[in-house]
Structure 1
Amino acid sequence: MLSQKTRYAIRAMQHLADKYGQGPIPLTDIAETQNIPAKFLTVILSELSRYGIVASQRGKDGGYWLGVPPIDITYGDLIRVMRGSLALVPCASRFAHETCKNCVEEKDCRTRALMLQVRDATAGLLDGMRLSDKIDPVPAAEGLEAVEDV
C-alpha cells in the first residue's frame, strides 16, 4: 500500500499540475482543496523541491509550483521519490534491493519471481502515466467488484 505521505504527495502534485503556468499557488490553497494537513504538506513539498520537482517562493505572493512541466513527471517517478521503490518486497526492488530475511535463496524463491512481475507491470503502468494526463475520478462503488474464489 502507498503511505499517507505518498498519497498526499500525489494529490498535491495533481493540484499543482492543474494550476501549471498560473504562478505560485499558496500552501493553504493546496492544503484546503486537497484536505492535507498544512504542516505535513510543507514537509512533503520541501522534500519534492530537493529533487527539483517543485519550486517555491516565500512571502506575501509566494507559494509552490511545478519545477518541471507536468508532461515530464510520471507517477512512477513521483512514487519512487516519495517511497523509494515500486516493489512490494525489498528483494524485488530495482533501486533499493535488499535480501529478505527469513527466506529461501533468491534464486529459488517463487514469491520473489512473482513480485518481480508485479513490480514490472506496476512500473509499466505508472511510468506510462504523467501528471499531464487526464484522470477522471471513479465513483466509490465502481472498480470494487468482488473476486470470486476459484
Structure 2
Amino acid sequence: MLTKKSQYAFKALSYLADKQQDGPVLISEIAKKKRIPLKFLENILLELKKADILESKKGKGGGYFFKKNPADVKMATIIRLIDGPISMLPCVSLYFYERCKNCDEKHCGLNDVMKQVRDATLQVLENRTLKDLQD
C-alpha cells in the first residue's frame, strides 16, 4: 500500500507536469490545488529536489519545476525514493534486500509467491512514468 507521503508526491508531481509549460509553480499553489498540507509538501519537494527530479527557483517568478523530463521518471523511482522498497517482503526486494529471520528462502512458498507479486508490480511501475499521471 502506498503511504500518504507517496500519494502526495504523485499528486504534486502530476500537477507540476500539467503546469510544466507555465514555468515554476509555488508550493502554496500546489498545496491548495491538490489539498496537501504545506509543511508536508515542502519536505516531499525537497526530497525530490535532492534526487535531481525537481529544481527550484527563488524570488519573483520562483517555485518548483522539473529538472528531468516527466516522461523519463519512472513511477518505481518515486516510490523507492519516498517509501523505500516496493516488494512486500524484505527477502524479495531488489534494492532493499534483507534476509527474513527463521526462513529458508530456497524452500519458502511465501517467498516464491511474493517474488511473482514483486515482478508483476514492477512490470507496471517500471514501464509507467510521471507523464502517464498527467490529468
TM-score over 0.5 for the pair: yes
Q: In the aligned structure 2, how far is the partner of 1:123 from the partner of 1:68?
A: 21
- 2:89 is aligned to 89
What is the CA RMSD across the aligned residues, in angstroms?
1.4
- Measured against aligned partners, the alpha-carbon deviations of 1:93-114 in whole angstroms (never above 9, x if no partner) come to 000000122x421111111111
TM-score by length of 2: 0.93
Question: How many residues of Structure 1 are paired with residues of Structure 2 in the alignment?
Answer: 135
TM-score by length of 1: 0.84
- 2:106 is aligned to 107
Query: Structure 2: which 5+ residue stretches go unaligned?
Result: none
- Measured against aligned partners, the alpha-carbon deviations of 1:55-100 in whole angstroms (never above 9, x if no partner) come to 1112232110111111101111111111222101111100000012
Please tell me the residue identity of whatever aligns with 2:39.
K
Q: In the aligned structure 1, how far is the partner of 2:39 from the partner of 2:60?
A: 18
Q: How high is the sequence identity, in percent, across the aligned residues?
A: 41
* Bigger Cα Rg: 1
Judging by fraction of residues, say which structure has more helix: 2
Query: Structure 1: which 5+ residue stretches go unaligned?
Result: 137-150
Q: Structure 1 residues 134, 9: closer, same or farther in 2, change over 3 A? A: closer
Higher relative contact order (CA 8 A, sep 6+): 2
Q: Structure 1 residues 81, 134: closer, same or farther in 2, change over 3 A? A: closer
